[in-house]
């Protein structure tokens, strides 16, 4: 199944049904009076967060969704039935934006969450509604209200505990494959990963979800390479794992390149807790490894972890550090929640 994380969709709620103008006409009943029923309400446009979906590919082939209109009122005081709703099922982590692409309408973060995007039009009143002591034979009824139409953007942002960032060929996919059951594409050329991936990582009897995104290059925020749009998939991550290729020319410069792209992207990515890792240690001699570790330490201002995902050396230490950092983030969030002012 192809991965699609963005789609533009047209939605329209149903029109309300018109009221009916009718009079009771029966033998031996001389003054039957008005008995026109009300029109039915139009259907709503509803977005539902559903388990089992991980892409927006369904909206590649259908972009128009229209709810059913309400039925018109009928004689004998019969009201028209309500129009059927149209339900858009989206994966967990989908954000819904207005047509301008900036106004957030809804954030679908929990399975089972339902949001009404566009309400159907109200049905019109039949002439029975307007009867009174001074108007005993009204001959008019209301038309139904028109529905609401709009274009919306659906944007999927994966929900994970930790996210992998780095230059192309930094070993992100290899790391994901080594620590989880995920099977990302791995090859010896840049931009092997074209779509984000997820994996469940287990360490010391505990688990967390790890996200892998395509590599960044210098100028990605200007559209170079694959751009920086995929960084949206690590916005929800609580911890970033920054992988730096030890076989590159200068580990410190590679680290600063990615950090510059994170800062240019914004959305708080540069402020997230980070674990710095030097990869491909099995391909380095002792002297080169020391030089690369020293360069990366000066650039990141912290001692990096040194690993080899191929042999597994140092990988478990990184996973334990991630788990400890996740526990620290959880504790800080709980403390902030306790210190928050009470809301009645």
168 is in an annotated binding site: yes
195 is in an annotated binding site: yes
213 is in an annotated binding site: yes
Distance from C-alpha of 122 to C-alpha of 278, rounded to nearest angstrom = 62
166 is in an annotated binding site: yes
Distance from C-alpha of 211 to C-alpha of 118, rounded to nearest angstrom = 33
**Which long-range CB contacts under 8 A does 185-190 form with residues at least 24 apart?**
190/215
280 is in an annotated binding site: yes
Are the C-beta atoms of residues 19 and 36 closer than 8 Å to each other? Answer: yes
169 is in an annotated binding site: yes
Q: Helices marked H in 168-246 — which ranges?
A: 172-179
Contacts of 31 (CB under 8 A, 6+ apart): none
Are the C-beta atoms of residues 90 and 50 closer than 8 Å to each other? Answer: yes
288 is in an annotated binding site: no
85 burial (CB, 10 Å; 0-12 / 13-18 / 19+) is: middle
Check the CA dihedral 225-230-234-236 and report its sign. Answer: positive
279 is in an annotated binding site: yes
Planar angle of CA 305, 310, 312, nearest 5 degrees: 55
264 is in an annotated binding site: no
100 is in an annotated binding site: no
215 is in an annotated binding site: yes
Are the C-beta atoms of residues 129 and 140 closer than 8 Å to each other? Answer: no
Tracing tokens 């369904």 back to the chain, one arrives at: 58
Helix (H, G, I), strand (E, B) or coil at 105: strand
88 is in an annotated binding site: no
202 is in an annotated binding site: no
308 is in an annotated binding site: yes
- Picking from 205, 268, 282, 206, the residue whose alpha carbon sits closest to that of residue 240 is 268
43 is in an annotated binding site: no
Distance from C-alpha of 128 to C-alpha of 32, rounded to nearest angstrom = 11
Tokens of residue 145, six digits: 């209200």
DSSP string, 120-139: PPPPPPPGGGG--SS-SS--
281 is in an annotated binding site: yes
Distance from C-alpha of 192 to C-alpha of 176, rounded to nearest angstrom = 13
Output DSSP code: residue 312. T
128 is in an annotated binding site: no
310 is in an annotated binding site: yes
Known binding-site residues equal 166-173, 191-195, 212-215, 279-282, 308-310
Known binding-site residues for Mg(2+) equal 173, 193
Known binding-site residues for GTP equal 166-173, 191-195, 212-215, 279-282, 308-310
């Amino acid at each position: 199944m192809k991965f699609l994380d963005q789609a533009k969709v047209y939605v329209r709620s149903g029109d309300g049904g018109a009221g009916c103008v009718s009079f009771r006409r029966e033998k031996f009943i001389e003054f039957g009076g008005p008995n026109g029923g009300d029109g039915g309400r139009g259907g709503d446009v509803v977005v539902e967060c559903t388990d089992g979906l991980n892409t927006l590919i369904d909206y590649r082939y259908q972009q128009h969704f229209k709810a059913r209109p309400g039925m018109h009122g009928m004689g004998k005081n019969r009201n028209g039935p309500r129009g059927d709703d149209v339900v858009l099922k989206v994966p967990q982590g989908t954000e819904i934006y207005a047509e301008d692409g900036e106004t957030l309408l809804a954030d679908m973060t929990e399975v089972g969450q339902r949001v009404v995007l566009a309400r159907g039009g109200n049905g019109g009143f039949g002439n029975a509604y307007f009867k009174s002591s001074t108007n005993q034979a009204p001959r008019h009824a209301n038309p139904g209200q028109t529905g609401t139409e709009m274009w919306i953007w659906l944007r999927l942002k994966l929900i994970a505990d930790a996210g992998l960032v780095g230059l192309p060929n930094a070993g992100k996919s290899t790391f994901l494959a080594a620590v989880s059951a995920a099977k990302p594409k791995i090859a010896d050329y840049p931009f092997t990963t074209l779509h984000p991936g997820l994996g469940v990582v287990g360490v010391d009897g505990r688990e967390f979800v790890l996200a892998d995104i395509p590599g960044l290059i210098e100028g990605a925020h200007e559209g170079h390479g694959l751009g920086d749009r995929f960084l949206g998939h690590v916005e929800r991550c609580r911890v970033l794992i920054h992988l730096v290729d030890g076989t590159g020319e200068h580990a410190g410069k590679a680290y600063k390149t990615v950090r510059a792209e994170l800062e240019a992207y914004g959305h708080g990515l540069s402020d997230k807790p980070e674990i710095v890792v030097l990869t491909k240690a099995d391909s380095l001699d002792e002297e080169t490894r020391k030089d690369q570790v020293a360069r990366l330490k000066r650039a990141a201002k912290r001692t990096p972890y040194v690993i080899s995902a191929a042999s597994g050396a140092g990988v478990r230490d990184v996973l334990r550090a991630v788990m400890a950092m996740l526990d620290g983030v959880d504790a800080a969030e709980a403390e902030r929640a306790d210190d928050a002012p009470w809301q009645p």
